[in-house]
Chains A and B, each alone.
Chain A
Amino acid sequence: MSIDEKTVRKVAKLARLALPEDRVKPMADELNGIMAWIEQLNEVDVEGVEPMTSAVEGLSLPMREDVVTAGDDPQKVLKNAPKSEDGFFVVPKVVE
């Protein structure tokens, strides 16, 4: 499966990464180089193999009481905000 320039633009859009037009072709080449190496996975017989979704066997996700354990400190939450006002994050207009 080869990645063409159209696919690179689409994937960059999905990933919200601005990709200058002159980077599209080189990026397609780089990704194809890596994906060609990855293709060797097709040699492995994976018939009937369960996908491994956890690094630890038999681990079930723990549950905890549904109570507030942290928070109520807007100053801390906003401390690293590029822009904030009156205890809120300020972001570009989302809805016209």
Chain B
Amino acid sequence: MTDLTTLTLAEALDGMEKKQFSSLEITNAFIDAIDKANPHLNAYVVTTPDLARERAKASDVRRAQGKAGALEGAPLGIKDLFCTEGVRTTACSGVLGEFTPTYESTVSGNLFRDGAVMLGKLNMDEFAMGSSNETSHFGPVVSPWRRGNEDTKLTPGGSSGGSASAVSADLCLGATATDTGGSIRQPAAFTGTVGIKPTYGRCSRWGIVAFASSLDQAGPIAKTVEDSAMLLQSMAGHDPKDSTSLTNALPDFRAATKRSIKGMRIGVPEEYRVEGMPPEIEALWQQGIEWVKAAGGTIVPISLKHTKYALPAYYIVAPAEASSNLARYDGMRYGARVAGKDLNSTYENTRASGFGKEVQRRILIGTYVLSAGYYDAYYLRAQKVRQRIAQDFRDAFEKVDAILTPATPSAAFGLGEKSGDPVAMYLNDIFTVTANLAGLPALALPAATDANGLPLGLQVIGKALDEESVFAVSAELERAANFRAKAAKWWL
């Protein structure tokens, strides 16, 4: 019998529909795989095997009764940023202690409504602040990928490092993730998986631990473009509990992956050719351009001239919003309280002991840029630069239907190789952060491997609300790239 864990989501749903195997069988296969791999990869911070088997059995009953949902019986991993009822949720921060929500996030609830089965909670950078999964309170995630025959531990990227590592290593059929500056797309690119951040507002933020509210957006990490479309279909949709949730009707994302791109105009921004970018990434981008042309698309050179200012603007806006959002962690209503001599010192001790180094750094930057006398110089200016960046995209989308770029400026790096230099770490998100600032949908997909055999990704950015074009172009590139590389399961 085939190893059920290596199936795509679409294949697994088809197999269950044809009664080739049950949800309980594939769920058990994943539970076994996690048991073997997790001590090496640290992708899951909580596993819920009993709950998973119980829900898989209930799912098999529903399918037998002809009541199968769109994701009926599919075992998924849930990023620890999503509140899950009765299952510990800490955003991988010490400050939340053993916080166990009494409610379910809208996005995870939508997946369960459609029949999905949860395998556990996935590791991530603390409060989603990081690009290598090294800021997690529970230790870094290790990528299943290795450089050639070396055994150096590589990062799966971040902040959704657990999601990317788990999908790549066949420890779930797909996973939820979130993206504030690239936290879905950069880990997807590093691990040979597909990740899409939809238009801001497509997925409800209700029940997702907040980082930077004007940038945070949920999306899936999956094995294929089609799988990512199916997961997003379930995750997205209007939610009255999030005032920024969009009311627009959801198109059929999966159908969009079958569309031809003939006649589409695809923009290529000159500003994404950055100094120090490896020639392999430049070559991959060129290859992507050729694939678009071969499929009948037209390449249009465009200019997004404020690109280089996107990261500095982000590092004002995101810490400012984070410092405000994270003010709630005072040790009074939930989390781990550390007593002091009075109320203020209890707050200060609780927060100093609960938050990790990078989170403290960002809270201080955010507090500084919002403090009296600096607001106009920093925060207001950053919001204006953000407008410039969004305007660049609006102008470009007068001429093109989608934009093609590399997903990251490098392949995955080793754990510890960049953790000493915050700015070098921040530069990982140089190609992804612009879509967050402008609120646009963007997808990363694997398209080649480098000389060491590590995956490299392309990114497709679309107009607001036009995920369909993003899916169409991405699926075309996926067919052309025919990326088949898999990380060897060295932990077995």
Contact = CB atoms under 8 A, between A and B. Distances in A.
- Dominant secondary structure at the A interface: loop
A91 B337 CA distance: 10
A81 B240 contact: no
Contacts of B215: 55
Interface in A54-83: 54-57, 59, 61-62, 64, 76, 79-83
B344 to A, nearest CB: 7
Interface string B321-344: 001000100111111110110111
Nearest to B200: A55
A79 B343 contact: no
Nearest to B311: A37
A40 B309 contact: yes
Contact of B343 (A10, A33, A37, A94): A94
Contacts of A89: 332-333
Contacts of B36: none
A96 to B, nearest CB: 9
B347 A34 contact: no
A3 B373 CA distance: 13
Given A51-B384, A56-B246, A15 B422 contact: no
Interface in A17-52: 17-19, 27, 30-31, 33-35, 37-44, 46, 49-52
Interface string B63-104: 000000000000000000000000000000000011110110
Nearest to A61: B243
A38 B316 contact: yes
A80 to B, nearest CB: 4
Contacts, number: 162
A46 B385 contact: yes
B364 A31 contact: yes
B315 A93 contact: no
Nearest to B335: A82
Contacts of A1: 374, 377
Interface residues of B, number: 72
A51 to B, nearest CB: 3
Contact of B339 (A52, A76, A92): A92
A57 to B, nearest CB: 7
A94 B344 CA distance: 9
A56 B349 contact: no
- Dominant secondary structure at the B interface: helix
B137 interface: no
Interface in B339-361: 339-340, 342-349, 351-352, 355, 360-361
B387 interface: yes
A80 B360 contact: no
B383 to A, nearest CB: 3
A17 B351 contact: yes
B392 to A, nearest CB: 12
Interface string B375-401: 001101111111110100000000000
Given A14-B367, A16-B344, A93-B343, A55 B351 contact: no
Contact of A51 (B243, B246, B327, B383): B383
A2 B313 CA distance: 18
B342 to A, nearest CB: 7
B57 interface: no
A15 B320 CA distance: 11
17 contacts: A16-B351, A31-B368, A34-B361, A35-B365, A40-B309, A41-B382, A51-B384, A52-B383, A52-B386, A52-B387, A54-B244, A79-B100, A80-B98, A80-B102, A89-B332, A91-B332, A92-B346
Interface of B: 97-100, 102-103, 199-201, 214-215, 240, 243-244, 246, 306, 308-309, 312-313, 315-316, 323, 327, 330-337, 339-340, 342-349, 351-352, 355, 360-361, 363-365, 367-368, 371, 374, 377-378, 380-388, 390, 422-423, 437-439, 464
